[in-house]
Amino acid sequence: MNSPLRVGIAGLGTVGVSLVQVLDRNRNLLKDRCGREIVVTAVNARDQSKDRGIDLGNFIWFDDAVELATSDDIDVFVELIGGEEGAALDASRAALKSGKHLVTANKAMLAKHGVELACAAEAKGLLLNFEAAVAGGIPIIKTIREALTANSIGRIYGILNGTCNYILTRMEREGISFEDCLADAQRLGYAEADPTFDVEGFDTAHKLAILASLCFGTEIAADEIYVEGISSITTADIEAAAELGYRIKLLGVAQRTESGIEQRVHPTMVPVDSTIAQISGVTNAVAIDADIVGQLVMSGPGAGGDATASAVAGDIADIAKCVPGEQKVPALGKLAKDLAPYKKARMRSHEGGYFIRLTVHDHVGVFAAIAGAMSKHEISLESIVQHRADQKEEDGLQTIILITHETTESAVRAALEAIGKESALAGTPQMIRIEK
């Protein structure tokens, strides 16, 4: 009989507590499937006296995460502390250095230090598993890293942040403002007290950077992503999208081009009858375009204690199944030392065009100024619609909605700057990409 796999867990928040419960509740199932028992032997958290609804009496308690990571009482270190630096990173480095397998749900740490940690794991013949770091309970990491090994992936995109999807879903269904939706999301626990990381797109960007590395065999490049959040989206944008047959989603998109890798996070109009448009609430979805399998779409819970704990438990189970001495699956799909340097793609035309909403002063020559600026920057318009501005706004304002054909973002921004110089604009223009 194989000896038990001893697990140490750092971080006993929602996910950590769920993980302890899952490993205990399904211990016999895991033993049957892994060929050995999985046992939590030690834990670490900030406050030992806090009531977490679980019995900690059978675990060795560590006040210091690094001491837990290097303890002889564990074989696997599970990092659920969070944050790209500090205790999470120090303990993760220490675990690998001391010969412990590492499991983490920390996308921020991986986006910044993932290649370093992968190198450290490979040098010691250890596993670095991080399924829970991207898309919660959706097994997207394992799918890319193992199941799609024979496929060349051209593009990966998806809804990677449940908070943003929840807000956009409610804005559309109930016609309420971004601010009101965000307040409800915070009250329900879907959004943090400081929601910037989620609603401004940075959480999605970290996850996208990890996926791009796995898909394209390049170093992780979280700092090379164009990032735009959803805080500027209004009910007027939601309504206009619906009238045009679209739904607004915050997407992370990474694709291979002739000039390099393109990564972007931004609100996007997607056809209302598309699969990605049907993903509502806090659910996540990831779509992969590959040469052999074609398009693969996976959806499921992107966050939450049980969903994330399921992914972490799966990572631990993979370690339990490993035969000592056998070659490990590289953390990033290929050996970290063989990852290609990241090459950012040059600006190119956006295939779906752009939605542009302008609030302008209603006077003679406005349309001519707009049309002239678009023509000067070689932007072809598919349609132009004029609306009287909302009655709550000042008199003498018009709302103009433009739909462009394929063009570059730089051209659109230059045209909007030129229109602004003509004193035609009243307020900040809204620009949203349209994905076919």
CATH code of the domain containing 253? 3.30.360.10
User: Do the domain assignments include residue 344?
Assistant: no
User: Do the domain assignments include residue 274?
Assistant: yes
Q: How many domains does the chain have?
A: 3
Paired tokens of 414: 């230059």
CA gap 70, 97 in Å, rounded: 8
- 422 phi/psi in degrees, rounded to 5: -85, 5
**What is the predicted pLDDT for the residue at 392?**
44
User: Do the domain assignments include residue 142?
Assistant: no
Paired tokens of 284: 């996540």
Same-domain status, 379 and 309: no
Q: Taking the CB of residue 329, how many other CB atoms lie within 10 A of it? A: 15
Same-domain status, 254 and 283: yes
What's the domain range around 323? 5-137+305-338
Give the C-alpha distances (Å, rounded to integers) separating 115 from 109, 125, 152, 290, 392. Answer: 10, 15, 21, 24, 52
Specify the DSSP class assigned to residue 145: I
CATH number for the domain spanning 409: value is 3.30.70.260
Same-domain status, 296 and 153: yes
**What is the predicted pLDDT for the residue at 325?**
67
Q: Taking the CB of residue 270, how many other CB atoms lie within 10 A of it? A: 24
H helix intervals, 35-145: 65-69, 86-97, 107-124, 140-142
User: Do the domain assignments include residue 347?
Assistant: no
The 10 Å CB-count burial string (b at 16+, else e) for 5-27 is bbbbbbbbebbbbbbbebbeebe
Same-domain status, 108 and 250: no
H helix intervals, 322-380: 366-376
Same-domain status, 131 and 241: no
CATH number for the domain spanning 66: value is 3.40.50.720
Same-domain status, 158 and 260: yes
Domain boundary among 313, 338, 363: 338
**What is the predicted pLDDT for the residue at 391?**
42
Same-domain status, 151 and 291: yes
Same-domain status, 286 and 360: no
Same-domain status, 165 and 280: yes
Q: Judge whether 376 and 415 are in contact, CB under 8 Å.
A: yes
Same-domain status, 127 and 165: no
Place of tokens 């030690």: 42
Give the C-alpha distances (Å, rounded to integers) separating 131 from 180, 207, 277. Answer: 33, 11, 24
Q: How open is the CA angle 408-298-160, to the nearest 5 degrees?
A: 55
Same-domain status, 241 and 373: no
Paired tokens of 395: 């008199």
CA gap 404, 416 in Å, rounded: 13
Pick from 308, 302, 301, 300: which is nearest to 22 by CA?
Answer: 308
**What is the predicted pLDDT for the residue at 184?**
87
Q: Among this protein's residues, is 107 annotated catalytic?
A: no
**What is the predicted pLDDT for the residue at 367?**
78
Q: Judge whether 265 and 227 are in contact, CB under 8 Å.
A: yes
Place of tokens 């400081």: 194
For the sheet with 128-129, list strands across it. 60-62, 38-44, 5-10, 76-79, 101-104, 128-129
**What is the predicted pLDDT for the residue at 423?**
65
Among residues 207, 321, 334, 376, the one annotated as catalytic is: 207
Q: What is the pLDDT along the chain (436 residues), one digit of tens a residue?
A: 589 999 999 999 989 999 999 999 999 999 999 999 999 999 999 988 888 888 888 899 999 999 999 999 999 999 999 999 999 999 999 999 999 999 999 999 999 999 999 999 999 999 999 999 999 889 999 999 999 999 999 999 999 999 999 999 999 999 999 999 999 888 877 778 889 999 999 999 999 999 999 999 999 999 999 999 999 999 989 998 998 889 999 999 999 988 899 999 999 999 999 999 999 998 999 999 999 999 999 999 887 888 899 999 999 999 999 877 677 889 999 999 999 999 988 777 677 789 998 888 777 777 777 888 888 888 888 887 776 545 444 567 788 888 888 888 888 888 888 887 766 677 788 899 998 7
Q: Judge whether 299 and 283 are in contact, CB under 8 Å.
A: yes
User: Do the domain assignments include residue 349?
Assistant: no
User: Do the domain assignments include residue 237?
Assistant: yes
Give the three-state DSSP class for 364: coil
User: Do the domain assignments include residue 240?
Assistant: yes
Domain boundary among 314, 338, 362: 338
Paired tokens of 260: 């390099």
User: Do the domain assignments include residue 348?
Assistant: no
Same-domain status, 296 and 170: yes
Q: Judge whether 198 and 185 are in contact, CB under 8 Å.
A: no
Domain boundary among 272, 301, 330: 301
